[in-house]
Amino acid sequence: MARIALSTKPFTASGSTIAATARSYLDALIIAGLVALFLITFVIGTFFIPSVSMVPALQVGDVVLVDEIAYRLAGPADGDVAIFKPPVASGGNDFVKRVIGVPGDRLVISNGVLYRNGAAVGEPYENQQPAYTLAIRDYGIYVNGHPLDARTANVPPRPKWQAPNRIPDRYYFVLGDNRNYSDDSHVWGFVDRPNFVGRAFMVLWPLRRLHVLEK
């Protein structure tokens, strides 16, 4: 009987420990769920890729995670994959493109090569070299030697420029990685800072393409 008493006493204590451990796990799960709900509601969003403009980084049908608080803390940076409201009619849909130029940058595309502030930019994400030339100069965006029309493209008036050949304050230049199959800043001009929604940072779906987006 003494041996039975000794064997049953640890069993009672173990049951109490299991219950306490279960409660601690449940508390942790509840906290994790609340944190996840907060992130999904206020910080992290999703975006469905509808077109080929960002191939190869983003494929049609990809779903990406979007940091919706990033641009409340700091402006977009060169190389970011950004979600934004375009300056043209889009049926209320947001666009996704890569940030190529920020305020103060000088941009030129010549012979298929992007030059930022006089230096050639390596673009491993680019699907193909652009078949057009481009330059920001004379208070405008020139494509194939012709300025974009400010009546149909978002090109600010001269008083908003700080220099004739640099992107004005609070304006950004974006391009699709699939350069010759993308409607972007070389067609409709700059994106205003308030129009940015967030920064895409990961392909979530399909699972076979799960990966973090790199600049």
Task: Please classify residue 193 by burial: count the beta carbons closer than 10 Å to its beta carbon, then call 0-12 exposed, 13-18 middle and 19+ buried.
Answer: middle
Closest CA to 105 of 136, 146, 71, 74: 136
Is 122:112 a contact under the CB 8 Å cutoff?
no
Q: How many CB atoms lie within 10 A of CB 147?
A: 15
Q: Which of 51, 97, 160, 215 is catalytic?
A: 97
Residue 97 is a catalytic residue: yes
Distance, in Å, from the CA atom of 27 to the CA atom of 124, rounded to the nearest integer, reads 45
Catalytic: which of 7, 14, 53, 110? 53
185 is catalytic: no
Q: Are 197 and 84 in contact (CB under 8 A)?
A: yes
Contact criterion met (CB below 8 Å) for 171 and 195: no
Alpha helix (H) residue ranges in the chain: 2-38, 70-73, 185-188
Residues catalogued as catalytic: 53, 97
